[in-house]
Structure 1
């Protein structure tokens, strides 16, 4: 192509027709400019396509993470609901004057007050996108607001998790547990229990002491608050999933 244009220029110069040569030269410049503009447009289109692909890959990764999160969050919520129901039932039974269940059953139920499980969502795709700057590819104000709300709930849950750990090892729970022999107040999966079977009246007396009530109520409130946080996190995750599915490009 270059050789073709060079031959035309040589021919026009040989003819000595300046007017035709100038017209040709201007035409050639216009063609070159058009070619450059087309090349730029194609490059911009390719770059735009790459960004869309990167955006779609990010959305797919986020959907995968949050589908996992909603499933796991649901499981821990069901666990907490069962745990809170057991706690309520325990409070009701231990307050009765007459014994209605065995001490061993009460010990099994009391374990709910000293078991603390939690769940933190998988934020791998989100954190990688945030650190790399790719989060801006989503360009969805509502979605970013939901992410912010979720992050705030996660931080609050972490604080409760830390408080629960502290309470068990140093706070009211520990003060109560160290006041009785191991295994007296609840059935333990660990060996080393020195507790013997005791009458219901003795067990009830221990569990209705001020120290016991403070410990049990504190654990109950801790689980209840964590349950509320996880409920809000579940709503956030579902909202995020709904928005992401709407944003995903059809194949």
Structure 2
């Protein structure tokens, strides 16, 4: 009976050790997969944010040119808003790319550093705010595109300035992530 008990105990210990080793290997493998995922998604997020930042820089220059053109023709009652916009070569709004962020936010957000998650969430909110401000600008322009008054031109300058302020905040948030150059991993 003692011999059977010893044999059974040895079997239980060897099975337990085998299970523990299998669990350790499985956890190690999952950690490795998560690390690879974060590395890849981090590179993708950084690429999108770099492209977004470049686009914002280009569009702000064009938007300031529109503001200057509006200011130049502010008192000219022969120049309607649509003519001023044509002179300035149009209205430009940057494209804010955050697809990779949305992908990880919907799946493995717990693997990311909290401050980075917070900054990326701010970028997403500012993207929505920029969209709203842009829509307001277009609504205003649609209702007033033939107007030539100084007040209409000044109000459009204000709307454009508001868009630029949102883009500037976006740039600062993007720079916070890009310049730190850190991984998004915890």
For residue 120 of structure 2, give the secondary structure of its aligned residue in structure 1. helix
1:235 pairs with one of 166, 169, 172? 172
In the alignment, structure 1 residue 118 sits paired with structure 2 residue 93: yes
State the shift of 1:113 in Å. Answer: 6.9
In the alignment, structure 1 residue 148 sits paired with structure 2 residue 128: no
Aligned pair count? 183
In the alignment, structure 1 residue 167 sits paired with structure 2 residue 140: yes
> Contact 1:66–1:122 at 8 Å: present in 2 too?
yes
Structure 1 unaligned blocks of 5 or more = 1-17, 95-102, 177-210
RMSD: 2.9
In the alignment, structure 1 residue 62 sits paired with structure 2 residue 62: no
State the shift of 1:153 in Å. Answer: 1.8
State the shift of 1:150 in Å. Answer: 1.7
Rate the CA distance shift 1:43–1:124 in 2: closer, same or farther, 3 A.
same
User: Partner of 2:183 in structure 1?
Assistant: 247
In the alignment, structure 1 residue 25 sits paired with structure 2 residue 8: yes
User: Partner of 2:153 in structure 1?
Assistant: 216
> Contact 1:153–1:229 at 8 Å: present in 2 too?
yes
Rate the CA distance shift 1:76–1:114 in 2: closer, same or farther, 3 A.
closer
For residue 32 of structure 1, give the secondary structure of its aligned residue in structure 2. helix
TM-score when scaled to structure 1? 0.63
Question: Which has the higher Rg, Structure 1 or Structure 2?
Answer: 1
> Contact 2:74–2:154 at 8 Å: present in 1 too?
no
> Contact 2:98–2:124 at 8 Å: present in 1 too?
no
> Contact 1:73–1:119 at 8 Å: present in 2 too?
yes
State the shift of 1:21 in Å. Answer: 4.3
In the aligned structure 1, how far is the partner of 2:137 from the partner of 2:184?
Answer: 40
In the aligned structure 1, how far is the partner of 2:157 from the partner of 2:66?
Answer: 9
Correspondences of 1:43-192 after superposition (within 5 Å): 43-91=26-74, 111=86, 115-131=90-106, 133-138=107-112, 140-170=113-143, 172-174=144-146, 176=147
Rate the CA distance shift 1:110–1:155 in 2: closer, same or farther, 3 A.
closer
In the aligned structure 2, how far is the partner of 1:164 from the partner of 1:114?
Answer: 16
Rate the CA distance shift 1:222–1:109 in 2: closer, same or farther, 3 A.
same
State the shift of 1:136 in Å. Answer: 2.5
In the aligned structure 1, how far is the partner of 2:36 from the partner of 2:140?
Answer: 48
